[in-house]
Amino acid sequence: MKLKDTIVKTYSDYVSPGKVDVYTKFNIVLVPGKRNGCYLYDIEGKRYFNCHSNGGVFNLGHRNSRIIRAVTEAMKSYDIGNHHLISRPKAELAKVLSETLPKGLNQVVYGVGGGEAIDLAIKLSRGVTGRTEIISARGGYHGHTGLALATGDNKFSEHFGPTMPGFTQVDFNDIHGLDRAVSEKTAAVIFETIPATMGIVVPDKDYFKAVKNICESRGALLILDEVQTGFGRTGSLWAFEQFGVVPDMMVIGKGMSGGVYPITATVYNEKYSGFLRSDPFVHISTFGGSEIGCYAALEVLKISRKKPFLNNVKSMGKYFTEKLSQLSRRYPSLKLRVRGIGLMMGLEFKDEMTSLFLLKIFFDNGIYVVYSGNDKKVLQFLPVLTITKKQADEIIKSIERSFKTMTGL
């Protein structure tokens, strides 16, 4: 039996037979071996462009040398750390994070996964306001843990029994619907700045300003989920900067890891710090803010906040949009529409069948993408943020090859 087949069988036997069944059925089995920058190599050597980046985990590419060097150096002195104790790396990272954010948004609580960080944001909003209702977006997604799960669509939670009461959904980018929904019972409104699972939906320019005004007028808090949009994905360090709004809390993760060491954070306004100050042990996370992970995140910030880096994201986003729009005109039967800001992009096709066929054809042509779970006619297109024009041209050529296969032209 080949090595790849052995790995797939062992994975099926001991980890996830269902995942193996799906990938085998559609012949999109990818067992990563070597990886570097924007490239993933199958265990047998086939090369793929990673154009999903695991939702932003690999913003800086696979095995970024600066992140590896920072983590390796940290391991000479540090380990996971002890969440009971005061920590120099956690303090330093929180200070640097706060320097990138609007005044007052400077209280940092660390986690390991995005769902955990969302759970804390919801808990904290309820504790601060004394209210229980949480409003989120239909088609949105914030994780698979308890409170995070309750904000999402039923398909994520229905298999596990009823979720707790107090969660309401509204249509995203519908300010009138939100205005009707927010009441004196609302603790918080939580949205992704650009909802990925919904299909990379970019809201109206003034939408979040209006959302914040509604929240402030009713005494509710605004939580923005920047787990995927943060750390430069949209061409600004934080996506909310592009909408002229300052949230009461934001949740960050994925790219914070540098693709090397898992770490997330819930960041909230100092005006609410009294709640956790009165009982600092009411929320804990054993592995949250690993001291080694803090050094990965510090290096991520050093890279991601620089203007040349962010300008590259903007210019490459424009370049991809221009080239993909040309392909849309060349292959009109696919009805391709390009969504997004910067390199937070979605490729919308005429229907789900077209999208899913193209996902498979892209795969065969060495491009790895995934579809948007709540809008399958949209393929999430999130190249690494360090992508070069030469690499972008190779990707565009592979996409055009895929379009030719799909249309028979």
What's the domain count of the chain?
Answer: 2
Q: Which residues contact 192 (CB under 8 A, 6 or more apart)?
A: 137, 140, 141, 142, 198, 224, 225, 226, 227, 228, 229
Is 387's pLDDT higher than 90? Answer: yes
Under DSSP, the state recorded for 190 is E
Instruction: Write out pLDDT tens, residues 190-203.
Output: 999 999 999 999 99
- pTM here is 0.96
Report which DSSP code applies to 380.
Answer: E
Pairing verdict, β 367-368 and 344-348:
unpaired
Which amino acid, residue 104? G
Burial (0-12, 13-18, 19+ Cβ within 10 Å), 163: middle
| Residues of the domain holding 281 | 65-304
Q: Which percentage of the chain shows pLDDT scores above 70?
A: 100
Kindly state the tokens that stand for 69. 């060097």
Q: Both 317 and 373 in a single domain?
A: yes
Buried/exposed 90-126: b ≥16 CB within 10 Å, e otherwise: beebbeebbeebeeebbbbbbbbbbbbbbbbbbbbbb
For residue 154, the model assigns a pLDDT of 86
Q: How far apart are CA 72 and CA 342, in angstroms?
A: 31
**Same-domain pairing of 261 and 283:** yes
Residue 367: which CATH number?
A: 3.90.1150.10
Which is nearest to 262 in space by CA: 236, 229, 300? 300
Predicted confidence band of residue 380 (pLDDT cuts 50, 70, 90): very high
Query: Average pLDDT of 297-309?
Result: 98
Do residues 278 and 158 share a domain?
A: yes
Whether 81 and 57 map to the same domain: the answer is: no
Helix (H, G, I), strand (E, B) or coil at 32: strand
Of the pLDDT bands very low, low, confident and very high (cuts 50, 70, 90), residue 223 is: very high
Lowest-confidence range among 19-23, 218-222, 223-227, 283-287? Answer: 283-287
pLDDT digits (tens, 9 = 90+) for 250-301: 999 999 999 999 999 999 999 999 999 999 999 989 999 999 999 999 999 9
φ, ψ of residue 265 to 5 degrees: the values are -155, 150
Q: State the average pLDDT over residues 76-84.
A: 96
